[in-house]
Chains A and B, each alone.
Chain A
Amino acid sequence: MSPSQTNLLQGTLDLLILKSLKTGELHGLGVSRRIDQITRGTFQVKPGSLFPALHRLEESGWLTGFWGESENNRRARFYRLTKAGERQLGHETEEWQKIAAAMTNALKAT
């Protein structure tokens, strides 16, 4: 396990989940796969952190969960961004970019 996988910041995981659902609804496994894909394998989200985060985001009203059929005809719980979730994603993306820029500058400085 590489350090980048263990030190996933709390807010970072939330942001990644919201981002992964931007393109459409996904079930838990789908979210996990999508994050793996969009971060090119840098972050691999384990169920032990994925599910608490999904439920937390749902309780906050940023996601809604519903039951549906998976690609191989299994019953699975899907998640979709809500209006509030989309706003939150925009907001958090902005925040993150600010922090990232600041961090980059800080680390560049001599």
Chain B
Amino acid sequence: MPLWSRLNSLARNLFRKPAVESELEDELQAYAAQVTDEKIAAGISPTEARRTALAELGGIEQVKQSVRDRRTGTSLELLWQDARYALRQLARNRAFTLTAVITLGLGIGATTAIFSAVYALLLRPLPYPDAGRLMYISAQTPRSRFEVLASQDFVAGQTSTKSFEQFAGYYYYYNQNLTGPGGPSRVTSVNVTANFLPMLGAVPQLGRLFAEDEDRPAGPPVIVISNHFWRSYFHADPTVLGKSITINGKSLTVIGILPPHFNFPDLTLEPDVYAAADLDRDTTIAIDKPMIGIQPIVRLRPAVSVEHAQAELQAFYLARLHKTAAELRSFFAGRKISLQPLQRHIVGDNRKPLFILLACVAAVLLIACVNVANLQLARTVSRRHETALRGALGASRLRLIRQSLVESLLLSSLAAALGLLIAFAITALVRNAAAFPTSPSSSRIAQLLQLPFGKLSASIYVDGWVLAFTIGLAILTTFLLGLAPAISGTRLDLRNALQSAASRITHAREQTLLRHGLLVVEIAIAVVLLASAGLLVRSFVNVMRYDSGFDPSDTLTGTTLLFGPRYQHPDDHGNPTPSPDLIRIFLGNLLPRLQALPGVQSAAIATALPLGEVHDTAITFGPPTPPPPAATWETAPGISVTPDYFRAVGDTIVQGRSFSGDDTAASPAVAIVNRAFAIHHFAGNALGKRFNWIVGRDQFAPLTIVGIVNDVRHNGLEQQVQPEFYIPESQSPSDTVNIALRSTADPILLANAMRKAVLAVDPQQPLFDIQTMDQRVASQVAQRRLIMLLIASFALLAVILSAVGVYGVFAYSVSQRTQEMGIRLALGASRRGLICLIVAQAARLVAAGGVLGIAGAFLLSRLLTSMLVGVKPHDAVSFSLAWILMTAVALLASTIPASAAARTDLVSVLHME
């Protein structure tokens, strides 16, 4: 193949064009001269000879052109010509270009930014080796709502299942107290099986990970620490291996440091410290054996399918039930086990909102494309004369279409560049928000962005795939923008166009139809977006209006955990257990100090605050002795509180009394229940009634109900209210100490005083998670709020773009119909009538778009169901508001060109002819 020779010619043709051209000219002139010479020699007069020679040649210019047409690189050159021509066109219509580029750039930027989040959270493989085979096992027991595997089942699964290469797991005991030279602080610690970290591909940057025999009861007191903890606590001390830290009073030796980029596979958790799991090898489940909830992560064997592994697990799990102590079996009845990809488990409920956001932002981009396509269409009409002329001068239709597409490509490339800049800025903002965890000083935007996606926000960035996505978008928009105008603009009868170009006749019917069709689609999409936004806004309002049962204003909260030997004593078997007496002393010292703080109205301590996490305990009804069989157990969360609790959080006693100082360890055991409890268990008539709650392995103690309080949501703002009961802290002291202070001043000002009060009682006790109650509520609704705000802004953008679209289409049509307007005026139409004429025309299209949009919303809003609270997907209010708003804005937009039509100057129109 003469490839090299071709490339050489290409380079010559492109870069040494003048030389190539003049050589061609010389050659042809020489040819003509030769022929002329011959003719003169044959006796023809020189002038005549020259003339006939040129005639035989067929015109030097024509020959030159046919040589050029067949040169290597001609098509490239034509493209370059087209691009330059397009650039000139765009530069000439600066207003059009700017509008188009900004509109499309915003659309592409927003779509790219959302896509980069979707990609980071849902598509990019997890940062673990061969992450596709990592699975999460969740077990559900209907009676207890546990979503973890009992430790005994986990240990049995490790040895008796065959589908998995590795069977690892972790458990998490909440925060721990770290004491040492820097003062007390809390650390996040998880216990992992020895194979857990190696399975996730962690290679320590210093030291080693756990050895295989270290994850057992009474194993060596060794820990592996995170890079972050190593830097913050040990200041990256390279000699840290072998040093000890004290957690919950226990001395632990550092044996390894994880690499900087290791990520724990849970969105809400990034442990500072990893300890080895201490799981008993005995796999029998019985009432008197401790049971730990394990979160198992496993690696499938290469050839094993998920279905096969799932079937094996289910069979294993059912078989395990037979090895469970008979009295517990009914408790575990109907339990299920399921296997799902780790990635899906981690992302969990975040999937759907992200896809919805992507769909919404894509809809905005579509509207932007439709708008610009409409502008392009309008321009093709005003450029008909020019197009026709180019056609008459010999440009093929293909060439004209290509010219139009090149122009669109140029536009969308500019827009894509702008879009990428926007996406870069947004993702940088999100990453920045993630890098500095929420502190009072971080900006509101940062807080807004950071909370919803947790630590994964840090991995949202524009990378190769996102870039490829943007380029794909640019190409797609090119075709969306360019094809319709290109085809419609070039399909014209040349003669007709040239003749009629001088007289501004009403433009082609077909074109008008296309433009109006696009406008209807645009309005319909905007209505769908508006209706969705309406549904989400109403849901948000409903969530915030949820009768939360408490008053979050002016309340400061914080937590300290009385873990470790200082608050423990040996139980009957000599194992350390929280000591009620020691805890009572701590609380007895702390509470008066809190109450005495300046500005504090009421101070209280509880095991759980409103919206906070609560755990079920077993309760029974009837005589507490002999131990009731497990089959009769029911569950409800029990919360220990000090007497002022209900006043401090703003809950109200609806019946009976609150706890008081008279409820002591020595006085009769009492309880206050919420309304739900009273209704569910006692048909509302609960005062003075009794029930039992579990106090030992299978020991129950009776409680007498002395009061009923309003329902308060726990485990999150959007959870259903469930039956709950409260007991006096004095009768059931707990090592979990949550403080609530109701204050007369700005509660955040109390933060330091609250910490000092705790340290004054016990200088080794860290107080953490200090937040106002309002902040806790805000973080509960952060994701919902962000999604609502985003979709509402997309909807608003869609409305504005559609209004611009309506304006554009009618402004253009009015400008084309000046003459018609003039005639109408001359024939006696009123100016008011002209306005009505145009607005009525717009109204027809807007109505069609509205109908189409409502139909679309009716079909699509079901996709939102899982995000709606207190509204139905076919909510009439949201739908009609969306329709009314869009119609009003669109009609308003059409009045601008309409009044321009009405201002038509009769005299100047007549003069134009």
Known interface pairs A28-B27, A74-B30, A74-B33; A59-B66 also in contact (CB < 8 Å): no
Q: Is the CB of B31 within 8 A of A47?
A: yes
Check: B5 CB closer than 8 A to any chain A CB. yes
* Residues of B64-123 contacting chain A, CB below 8 A: 66-67, 69-72
* Residues of A55-96 contacting chain B, CB below 8 A: 55-56, 58-62, 70, 72, 74-77, 84
Residues from chain B with Cβ under 8 Å of A60 in the complex: 2, 5-6
Known interface pairs A47-B57, A48-B58; A59-B31 also in contact (CB < 8 Å): no
Task: Report the nearest A residue to B20, measured CB to CB.
Answer: A55
Residues from chain A with Cβ under 8 Å of B34 in the complex: 27, 29, 70, 72, 74, 76
Residues from chain B with Cβ under 8 Å of A74 in the complex: 30, 33-34, 37
Task: Report the nearest B residue to A53, measured CB to CB.
Answer: B70
Check: A46 CB closer than 8 A to any chain B CB. yes
Known interface pairs A60-B2, A77-B26; A48-B66 also in contact (CB < 8 Å): yes
Q: Is the CB of B28 within 8 A of A51?
A: yes
Interface residue tally for chain A (C-beta within 8 Å): 23
Residues from chain A with Cβ under 8 Å of B72 in the complex: 59
Q: Which of A29, A47, A48, A77 has the most CB of B within 10 A?
A: A47
Interface residue tally for chain B (C-beta within 8 Å): 27
Q: Smallest Cβ distance from A26 to chain B, in angstroms? A: 12
Contact of B63 among A47, A59, A77 (CB under 8 A): A47
Task: Report the nearest B residue to A55, measured CB to CB.
Answer: B67
In the bound complex, what is the Cα–Cα distance between A34 and B71 (angstroms)?
Answer: 25
In the bound complex, what is the Cα–Cα distance between A55 and B72 (angstroms)?
Answer: 10
Q: Is the CB of B58 within 8 A of A76?
A: no
Q: Is the CB of B30 within 8 A of A56?
A: no
Q: Smallest Cβ distance from A91 to chain B, in angstroms? A: 12
Check: A11 CB closer than 8 A to any chain B CB. no
Residues from chain A with Cβ under 8 Å of B30 in the complex: 27, 70, 74-77
Q: Is the CB of A84 within 8 A of B69?
A: no
Residues from chain B with Cβ under 8 Å of A77 in the complex: 23, 26-27, 30
Contact with B along A32-47 (1 / 0, CB 8 A): 0000000000000011
- The secondary structure that dominates the B interface is helix
Check: A52 CB closer than 8 A to any chain B CB. yes
Residues from chain B with Cβ under 8 Å of A62 in the complex: 2
Residues from chain A with Cβ under 8 Å of B144 in the complex: none
* 11 pairs, A vs B, C-beta closer than 8 Å: A27-B30, A27-B31, A29-B31, A29-B34, A46-B56, A51-B27, A51-B66, A56-B71, A59-B72, A75-B30, A76-B31
In the bound complex, what is the Cα–Cα distance between A61 and B8 (angstroms)?
Answer: 10
Check: B720 CB closer than 8 A to any chain A CB. no
Check: B15 CB closer than 8 A to any chain A CB. no
Check: B35 CB closer than 8 A to any chain A CB. yes
Contact of A52 among B5, B57, B70 (CB under 8 A): B70
Q: Is the CB of A61 within 8 A of B58?
A: no
Q: Is the CB of A52 within 8 A of B33?
A: no
In the bound complex, what is the Cα–Cα distance between A29 and B56 (angstroms)?
Answer: 12
Known interface pairs A46-B58, A47-B58; A61-B31 also in contact (CB < 8 Å): no
Task: Report the nearest A residue to B12, measured CB to CB.
Answer: A59
Q: Which of B26, B27, B62 has the most CB of A within 10 A?
A: B27
Q: Smallest Cβ distance from A10 to chain B, in angstroms? A: 11
Residues from chain A with Cβ under 8 Å of B35 in the complex: 29
Check: B173 CB closer than 8 A to any chain A CB. no
In the bound complex, what is the Cα–Cα distance between A54 and B27 (angstroms)?
Answer: 12
Contact with A along B18-49 (1 / 0, CB 8 A): 00000110111011011101000000000000
Check: B9 CB closer than 8 A to any chain A CB. yes
Residues from chain A with Cβ under 8 Å of B6 in the complex: 59-61
Residues from chain A with Cβ under 8 Å of B27 in the complex: 28, 51, 76-77
In the bound complex, what is the Cα–Cα distance between A60 and B2 (angstroms)?
Answer: 6
Q: Is the CB of A59 within 8 A of B5?
A: yes
Residues from chain A with Cβ under 8 Å of B24 in the complex: 51, 55
Residues from chain A with Cβ under 8 Å of B233 in the complex: none
In the bound complex, what is the Cα–Cα distance between A46 and B69 (angstroms)?
Answer: 17
Q: Is the CB of A59 within 8 A of B58?
A: no
Check: B174 CB closer than 8 A to any chain A CB. no
Residues from chain B with Cβ under 8 Å of A27 in the complex: 30-31, 34
Task: Report the nearest A residue to B10, measured CB to CB.
Answer: A59
Known interface pairs A27-B34, A74-B34; A48-B63 also in contact (CB < 8 Å): yes
- 10 new A-B contacts at CB < 8 Å, known A51-B63, A76-B34, A77-B30: A47-B31, A48-B58, A48-B62, A49-B66, A52-B63, A59-B5, A59-B6, A60-B2, A62-B2, A75-B26
For the complex of A and B, the 4 pairs showing the least CB-CB separation, nearest first, are A61-B5, A59-B9, A61-B2, A77-B27
Q: Smallest Cβ distance from A41 to chain B, in angstroms? A: 16
In the bound complex, what is the Cα–Cα distance between A49 and B4 (angstroms)?
Answer: 25
Contact with A along B305-328 (1 / 0, CB 8 A): 000000000000000000000000
Known interface pairs A46-B58, A48-B62, A74-B37; A55-B31 also in contact (CB < 8 Å): no
Task: Report the nearest B residue to A62, measured CB to CB.
Answer: B2
Q: Which of A51, A60, A74 has the most CB of B within 10 A?
A: A51
Residues from chain A with Cβ under 8 Å of B28 in the complex: 47, 51
Residues from chain B with Cβ under 8 Å of A58 in the complex: 9
Q: Smallest Cβ distance from B34 to chain A, in angstroms? A: 5
In the bound complex, what is the Cα–Cα distance between A56 and B6 (angstroms)?
Answer: 10
In the bound complex, what is the Cα–Cα distance between A62 and B4 (angstroms)?
Answer: 12
Task: Report the nearest A residue to B69, measured CB to CB.
Answer: A52
In the bound complex, what is the Cα–Cα distance between A66 and B880 (angstroms)?
Answer: 81
Q: Smallest Cβ distance from A37 to chain B, in angstroms? A: 15
